[in-house]
Structure 1
Amino acid sequence: MLASLGTMPELARQLSGLGGCTNPVRLDGHRTEYAVDRTTGEIGRVLHHLDSSSLPAGSLLVRCNNRRATRCTACAEVYRRDTFHLITAGLRGGKGTAEQVGTHPRVFATLTAPSFGPVHNRPSSGRPCRCGARHDDTDPALGTPLDPDAYDYEAAVLWNAHAGALWRRFSIYLRREIAKRAGLTQRAFRYHARVSFAKVAEYQKRGAVHFHAVIRLDGPEGGDTAPPAWASAELLTGAIHAAVTATRVNGPDVDGRAHTFTFGRQLDVRTIRSADFDGGQELTERAVAAYIAKYATKGAETATGTLDRPIRFLAELAQARITDHARRMIRTAWTLGARKDLEHLRLRAWAHMLGFRGHFSTKSRRYSTTLGALRDARAEWRRAQAPTAAPQDGETTLVLAHWVFAGTGLSTGEAWLATSLEPAPGTEGEPTWTPVATS
């Protein structure tokens, strides 16, 4: 049918611009660019006009930009690549970050949640699980409670809800600990050094969030300035251990039970470029960036088998294909979310995330570039490839646009055609590998 209408090549070109996105946003409307005289302000000729009704798909198709691999593989891959380059820039420079950051003390830290009850696991010692079985790494029982009725679901959900506050408190204590080890007051510390970081949140199989972070010690102005002579990876590691031990956040009182939240005892801090990563392999900048970027596209649904989108009614769980453990976590979040004293946690809105409502990928201001800057650079590159009329000397551009939401997704025919197309250049983000030169 598409071929008979003579729209196949044009539609293929429009779909290839999605870069493989399978659930684009459809917009109806128009956009017009006018040349404007800088001196008189007079609106002149039309430089470019776009009307959605004239497009082959009948609508403007915009990438969904969902970071979840379970929702859109193509958009998640772009997010992963952008995160990789963001992390890499903070480790070796580039993208507007000084190359000297590669000489600054930096570590790779993993901060975990405490125990909420025994779960099925695979002990690193090679011993069997407490249940007596030796689980393989694909066993769905991994991470589920040995005794669900004794598992502290309430504390698990509330810990997830306060994980972001715990990280903020930890970052404050970390600066204090570094200052103390350097013989500085907290006020004086800012004039000597700065802590920069980038982190991602990852779900363990038991449904608890933990954080992977690159933590770097810079000079007072960030990566552009050298750290003081006393700064070292050893000092930073010791400060992290002390800060994690001291960090605690007071939680709510639920039916007479007072909750206080801390990080778990499993704390791993490794100096980047040491030989204690991945079975004796060197912990390189590239390995760290790839590891963090991998988890930037995963949510609770990947590790825990829960939902990848919000629910409006608890009854939706009856039809959901999720694990019993995830179901109980969601039910607990939903029940707690009905309490007036816990409204600020928005547990019902984030029940599908098992209570966690923080950002999955965050960084300090001076760590490196931003995801927004990477997206803007990609969009600017794509605009530069489009042959459009440009304003002349003495002119600027006025853009008038009006768009309305018209739905999401592709039609059956569009989806069929999209699977056979190569993404257009500049739609997939920068590659995270180095091309091999061929003669």
Structure 2
Amino acid sequence: MTVFPVPPEAVAGAAASLGTDPLTLADLLRVANAPGFDRWQEQVRRTGGCAHPIRLMGQTTTRDRATGEVLYSYSTADEPGGALRVACGNRRASRCPACAWTYAGDTYHLIRAGITGDPLKGVSPVVREHPRVFATLTAPSFGPVHNRPDSGRCRCGSSHAEDDPTLGTALDPDGYDYAGAILFNNHAGDLWRRFTIYLRREIAARAGLTQAALTEVCRVSFGKVAEFQKRGAVHFHAVIRLDGPDGPDTAPLAWATVALLDDAIRAAAARVSVPVPASGEHPARVLRWGTQVDVQAIGALGREELTEQAVASYVAKYATKAAETTGTVDHRIGELAELDRLPLPQHTRRLIEACWDLDDAYPDRMLARWAHMLGFRGHFSTKSRSFSTTLGALRQVRADYRARQERRERGLSEDLDDSEGSTLVLAHWTYAGQGHTPGESWLAATIAKEIRLNRETAREALADLSGLDEEAWA
């Protein structure tokens, strides 16, 4: 391909029109004029427009085991840059919007299958008739913060706008319990684990059964996600379901109702505590959930209760977020001196500094390591084993589909079950780096937007044809 020189002033003018800087535009022109640009675009499209693809170098050969004939061979030597690009798979929208969008979609289908049932995902449709609720467990107060109460006026005397950056920040920073907020985040996973234990005890007590007898007639299943409030405290949203003794395929007994589950959740949340011993200048504490516990029944389509699709969409929304809503960063902080180079809100900075201050007192909690997460080190989304399918299973279905496509393109059998061992695959791969150049990043983001727009358009069309809400096709 012939490359024509472009005057600097033309590059600057084009950069302004595209909303990018001249250096990025110059690199964009280099990429677009480089040999193999079409193949590079194809690779990026296969990653879904991943913002930080992993580059691999190597080769693979498929042979007929009986004859030794080469059925297919591939090498990255002829690829653009001599590498194959694969999606990073990061769940964080702040890191990779494209991969996070895929992760959110998988989470949506996982949660929705656990609410409505889906035989294709190994969950019986009878779960739709089981008691199901959407529960929210919050953090306690660590001091008054700027908020938007129902009265419309904050304790500071102002009526804050929804996007006011002061929302969630301490009214009195010197009196705010930053240490308590960090220790709560750090132990939130322990609180949840104990909550699930107490929940089973409370259900058994209300059913007039021992805990051992409860396991013979009822099973508690859940899927949950963590969310950071603007004040920097973690709380959990969870879909909680009561099943029969063999899981989602069996119905619970008549006493297992939404009302009983609601009452048991509130009682369990009130009982749970995690003691934190004193250390140095830090006193002993007992961590508990906040008094605000919300439990809502989940209704089927057409009912007045909280809809199944709304719950699945809500959980999926927060599966790709972390603590960025508080103004913190999405990477680890190596030393406190880094904070001087970061545009952090003062409230967030004091939370991060509290992590480092507590790290020496509680070295086993690795608080400095998780300072960018304001002390929280748990998984953002978890589920019980029998609640639904797994993210791994959903990814495997997608991988098998793509593998069949590639086999068809190569003229091979689409059957992935080579139980007779008729073929032999020899492969060697090495890591060659990660990420894009500035120009490649701009192009990849454009491709990702195009892919998402096309999928959303198709989803809307399917929703119109089926008469269902668009969320059902998310």
* TM > 0.5 fold call: yes
Gaps of 5+ in 2: 1-29, 467-474
| Structure 2 counterpart of 1:226 | 251
Unmatched tracts of structure 1, length 5 or more: 38-42
- Secondary structure of 2:241's match? strand
Distance 1:109 1:271 in 2: 9
Q: 1:176 aligns with which of 172, 193, 201?
A: 201
- 1:183-205 deviation digits (Å, cap 9, x = unpaired): 11011110100000000000000
Which residue of structure 2 aligns with residue 367 of structure 1?
387
The 8 Å contact of residues 227 and 234 in structure 2, kept in 1 or not, is answered as yes
1:205 match:
230
Distance 2:33 2:326 in 1: 47
Amino acid at match of 1:404: T
CA RMSD between the two structures: 2.5
Counterpart of 1:362 in 2: which secondary structure? Answer: strand
Alignment-mate amino acid for residue 346 of structure 2 = D
Cα distance in 1 for partners of 2:271, 2:210 equals: 18
Match of 1:272 among 279, 290, 298: 298
Aligned to 1:26: 55
Larger helix fraction of residues: 2
Compared CA separation, residues 235 and 59, structure 1 to 2 (3 A): same
Cα offset for 1:402? Answer: 2.7
User: After the TM superposition, which of the residue ranges 188-197 and 249-258 deviates more from structure 2?
Assistant: 249-258
Query: Contact 2:31–2:440 (CA<8 Å) still a contact in 1?
Result: no
Does the 8 A contact of 1:305 with 1:322 survive in 2?
Answer: yes
Mapped to 2, the partners of 1:298 and 1:428 lie a distance apart of 22
**Identity level (%):** 53
The answer (yes or no) to whether the contact 2:300–2:308 under 8 Å persists in 1 is no
Contact 2:36 2:79 in 1 (8 A): no
Equivalent position of 1:324 in the other structure: 346
Q: Distance in 2 between matches of 1:396 and 1:228?
A: 51
**Does 2:402 correspond to 1:382?**
yes
Whether the 8 Å CA contact 1:85–1:432 is kept in 2: the answer is no
C-alpha deviations, 1:285-325, integer Å up to 9, x for none? 00111111111111101x21111111112211111122111
C-alpha separation between the residues in 1 aligned to 2:419 and 2:101? 40
1:17-96 superposed matches below 5 A: 17-37=46-66, 44-94=68-118, 95-96=121-122
Shift of 1:23: 1.2
Please give the TM-score of this superposition, normalised by the length of structure 1.
Answer: 0.90
Could you say which residue in structure 2 is the equivalent of 1:11? 40
Q: CA deviation at 1:36?
A: 2.6
**Post-superposition offset of 1:414:** 3.0
Distance (Å, rounded) in 2 between the aligned partners of 1:185 and 1:308: 45
Q: Are residues 54 and 233 of structure 1, via their aligned partners in 2, closer, same or farther at CA, if it must alter by over 3 Å?
A: same
- Tell me which amino acid in the other structure corresponds to 1:307: V
Residue identity opposite 2:185 in structure 1: N
Bigger relative contact order (CA 8 A; separation at least 6): 1
CA gap of 1:56–1:118, structure 2 versus 1, over 3 A, is same
Residue 298, structure 1, aligned to residue 318, structure 2: no
Provide the C-alpha distance between the structure 2 equivalents of 1:428 and 1:221, rounded to a whole number of angstroms: 38
Q: Is the 8 A contact 1:109 1:268 kept in 2?
A: yes
- Provide the aligned length of Structure 1 versus Structure 2: 424
- Does 1:159 find its partner at 2:188? no
CA distance in 2, matches of 1:385, 1:14: 15
The answer as to whether partners of 2:297 and 2:305 remain within 8 angstroms in 1 is no
Q: Which moved more, 1:169-178 or 1:218-227?
A: 218-227
In structure 2, the residue corresponding to 1:174 is in which secondary structure?
helix
Shift of 1:270: 0.8
Letter in structure 2 aligned against 1:46: V
> Which of 276, 280, 283 is residue 306 of structure 2 equivalent to?
283
Residues 161 and 357 of structure 1 are in contact (CA less than 8 Å); yes or no, is this contact kept in structure 2? yes
Counterparts of 2:340 and 2:129, CA distance in 1: 54
Report the alpha carbon displacement of residue 33 of structure 1 after superposing the two structures with TM.
2.9
